[in-house]
Amino acid sequence: MRLFEIEEVSVFLEKKFADVDKDIISELLLIPYKGSKEEVLRLKEYLNITILPEEFEDFIMRYNLGNLTLANIQFGSGGNYINRLINLNNKDNYWYQDCLSIDAMVVGLGDPYTILLSLKEGVVYVVSSEISFDDKVIVAPSFDSFIQGLGTSIYAKASGREESFLSLIENKFGVNTRFFWEEILY
């Protein structure tokens, strides 16, 4: 088993849900999108940040995450993902100061995890009620690899290859990430 490439994730999801009305399942598809530099600039200005990891910036300009939920990780909530990022990272959220202190931003939510993106290294962390910001755990080396992992996990579960997937994750992302990916699968 190997991690799906981003395009393979998109194609797999399209095939998996081919018989379902696209309006009903749009939140389960990785839909191509043409974002603009202006949207990204608006995000940076609002959040008062100077850089975003280039890979993440490219991704949010190529794919519509405004409605996306992969595995149990919700990125959007039925609208524009840039607006969602602004809402998730505004000063009124209790985690705002914690995110600032580690140079990270919230990019998605799951149960029980909050998904963080390091603004400097581009790695993906998780925190939860059980994992503090000080103890954050890296679960993927990049946002693209995080999406690849989520998409591949859906395939692994559908094809009964959960253990192969978890072995792959341990090899690619490290043994200490297994707990997170197990929860994604089960």
Residue range 123-146, pLDDT digits in tens: 999 999 999 999 999 999 999 999
Average model confidence (pLDDT) for the chain? 94
Instruction: Judge whether residue 10 has pLDDT over 80.
Output: yes
User: Cα dihedral sign for 110, 70, 171, 139?
Assistant: negative
Task: Provide CB contacts within 8 A for 63, sequence distance 6+.
Answer: 6, 10, 30, 31, 32, 33
CATH code of 6-185, in short, is 3.40.1580.10
Domain ranges within the chain, ordered by starting residue: 6-185
Quote the pLDDT of residue 105.
98
